[in-house]
Amino acid sequence: ACGNDQKTAQNGGGTTFISMDSHRIDEAEAVREPGTVREFELTAAPATVDLGGTEVDTWAYDGRVHGPELRIKKGERLKATLSNDLDEGTGIHWHGIALRCDMDGVTGVTQKEIAPGETFTYEFTAPHPGTHWYHPHTGYQLDRGLYGPLIVEDPDEEVTWDEEWVLLLDDWLDGTGTTPDETAAKLRDGMDHGDMGHGDMDMGGSEEGDPSQSVLGEDAGDVEYPHFLINGRTSADPDRLELRPGSRVRLRVINAGGDTAFRLAVGGHRLTVTHTDGFAVEPVEVDSILLGMGERYDAIVEVGEGVFPVVAHAEGKGAMGRALLDTGSGSDPAADERPAELDGKLLAYADLSPAEGTELEPGEPDRTIDFALTGGMMDYDWGINGRQGDHEGMYPVEEGERVRLRFRNETIMWHPMHLHGHTFALADSGVRKDTAVVLPGETVEVDFTADNPGRWMVHCHNLYHNEVGMMTLLGYL
């Protein structure tokens, strides 16, 4: 109706949007009935950070890992001004939010990079509640420690709890002798020459009795990390939540890692899973939860008396991050204590069903798009349909359509596939998510309603896969 008006808008010190159909984007935003504006400021800059006994020079938001928690209510407008004090361009992507496309923060796709010394103000309505997060969509910056939680509260929440604890899981590389960029260069070049020290990189395979191998397949990850963190702390000096015995705590768990799936469990407790990727599910009780990169789960735990480890086991990498639930009696468990729950009932997608009110409207797909996940370790040529990082080759969708994405994994590696700007439903169960793990050899189908015009990334949330090209774009006709 409006065509592409090629308009560029000014924001901050001369940063311009990449041309998009801003009229249609404005129209879609108006439907979201904006509420109260909540203002935040963030600065991305080099920082020295204490990970708990280990000091590292890295990049961080406001000098801390993770970055500050941003918290708003459903329907409110988030207004966040980012100052870039890094020596390279950046941006912020708001993972999980079905927001206006020109605020999606994918540099080179929805906006130009915010140059060093510049500021940029993001402003958008958050239509869905849930546990979400923010991070740059620019090179390997995420894996340097630039990430934080974005919690959108639901005023009509059905679940009740006494305490809330946001847990960000991360695999940590930066400032420990190598950077994510150097690591990526090794992955891209090293494999070709066959002489790369495999001591540097985890080639998957036989970790000591690791039960994960059966879940994710042979290769759990490409990068070997010296530390695994929960809330920016190593297991030597863990984050701790003090609470009364018998409290019901709502864990909001976010996998912010670059290349690690985590299996999360609480020693001596079962988890009642209530949400995935921000959307409510029928509560289901399990011992542990597997989170691919980008995925979130909320779970309720009724805490007994004592000090209990919350562990994030790095699948196939044989190490754990941990945090402690502490009711004020008893002593801390040993740093290497491995709760039996890690080997108990592990949540599978098949255990999930959508909570009432979260389903897509019934309907058959108007359009199905096939995405073969392709590539491998040797050539480090991860891609989609055999192509790598093709920003030009947009897959068209039309406003109002029901679209099905069919991910067929032709590789021997697992991939957490993420869609921007929408929340899809797993075709098998109707569970709403925005990131879905696709195991080797497996096909996963997801459906969404095309109701948010713009240009949207579909990609693997393994940062190293995404950056070499396991990404593509959906473009509204």
Q: What is the contact surface with ligand C2O in residues (CB under 6 A)?
A: 93, 95, 135, 137, 294, 418, 420, 457, 459, 461
Q: Give the residue with the Cβ less far from Cu ion, 235 or 462.
A: 462
Residue 384 CB, nearest distance to ligand C2O (Å)?
Answer: 14
Report the distance separating Cα 314 and Cα 303, nearest Å. Answer: 24
Look at residue 459 and give the partner it binds from ligand C2O, Cu ion, none, a contact being a CB closer than 5 to 8 Å depending on partner kind: ligand C2O
Q: Give the residue with the Cβ less far from ligand C2O, 142 or 271.
A: 142
Burial class (CB in 10 A: 0-12, 13-18, 19+), 278: buried
Angle (nearest 5°) at CA 54 between 52 and 55? 110
Look at residue 252 and give the partner it binds from Cu ion, ligand C2O, none, a contact being a CB closer than 5 to 8 Å depending on partner kind: none
Look at residue 420 and give the partner it binds from ligand C2O, Cu ion, none, a contact being a CB closer than 5 to 8 Å depending on partner kind: ligand C2O
Look at residue 462 and give the partner it binds from Cu ion, ligand C2O, none, a contact being a CB closer than 5 to 8 Å depending on partner kind: Cu ion
Residue 444 CB, nearest distance to Cu ion (Å)?
Answer: 13
Residue 106 CB, nearest distance to ligand C2O (Å)?
Answer: 7
Residue 72 CB, nearest distance to ligand C2O (Å)?
Answer: 18
Burial class (CB in 10 A: 0-12, 13-18, 19+), 119: middle
List the one residue out of 453, 446, 448 whose CA is nearest residue 399. 453
Q: Give the residue with the Cβ less far from ligand C2O, 316 or 416.
A: 416
List the one residue out of 341, 324, 321 whose CA is nearest residue 332. 324
Q: Give the residue with the Cβ less far from ligand C2O, 100 or 461.
A: 461
Residue 93 CB, nearest distance to ligand C2O (Å)?
Answer: 5
Q: Give the residue with the Cβ less far from Cu ion, 204 or 454.
A: 204
Q: Give the residue with the Cβ less far from ligand C2O, 132 or 322.
A: 132
Phi, psi of 264 (to 5 degrees): -100, 135
| SS3 assignment for 125-172 | ECCCCEEEEEECCCCCHHHHCCCEEEEEECCCCCCCCCEEEEEEEEEE
CB 438 within 8 A of CB 402: no
**Member of 90, 255, 462, 472 binding Cu ion (CB under 5 A):** 462
Q: Looking at residues 405 to 424 of the shown chain, list those that interact with Cu ion (rule: CB under 5 A).
A: 415
Q: Give the residue with the Cβ less far from Cu ion, 267 or 383.
A: 383
Residue 461 CB, nearest distance to ligand C2O (Å)?
Answer: 6
Binding string, 442-461, against Cu ion, x = CB under 5 A?
Answer: ------------------x-
Look at residue 415 and give the partner it binds from Cu ion, ligand C2O, none, a contact being a CB closer than 5 to 8 Å depending on partner kind: Cu ion
Report the distance separating Cα 231 and Cα 165, nearest Å. Answer: 10
Residue 469 CB, nearest distance to ligand C2O (Å)?
Answer: 14
Residue 38 CB, nearest distance to Cu ion (Å)?
Answer: 34
Look at residue 465 and give the partner it binds from ligand C2O, Cu ion, none, a contact being a CB closer than 5 to 8 Å depending on partner kind: Cu ion
Report the distance separating Cα 160 and Cα 110, nearest Å. Answer: 38
Cross-sheet strand order for the sheet of 424-426: 383-384, 367-374, 402-409, 443-449, 424-426, 432-433
Look at residue 460 and give the partner it binds from Cu ion, ligand C2O, none, a contact being a CB closer than 5 to 8 Å depending on partner kind: Cu ion
The CA–CA distances, whole Å, from 339 to 299, 319, 320, 353 equal 17, 13, 11, 27
Report the distance separating Cα 31 and Cα 47, nearest Å. Answer: 40
**Member of 315, 374, 465, 469 binding Cu ion (CB under 5 A):** 465
Would you state the structure tokens that stand for residue 394, as one six-digit string?
Answer: 């947009």
Helical residues (DSSP H) of 217-367, grouped into ranges: none
| 355 residue type, one letter | A
Look at residue 66 and give the partner it binds from Cu ion, ligand C2O, none, a contact being a CB closer than 5 to 8 Å depending on partner kind: none
Report the distance separating Cα 104 and Cα 146, nearest Å. Answer: 16
Which residue's Cβ has the minimum distance to ligand C2O?
A: 95
Q: Give the residue with the Cβ less far from Cu ion, 119 or 213.
A: 213
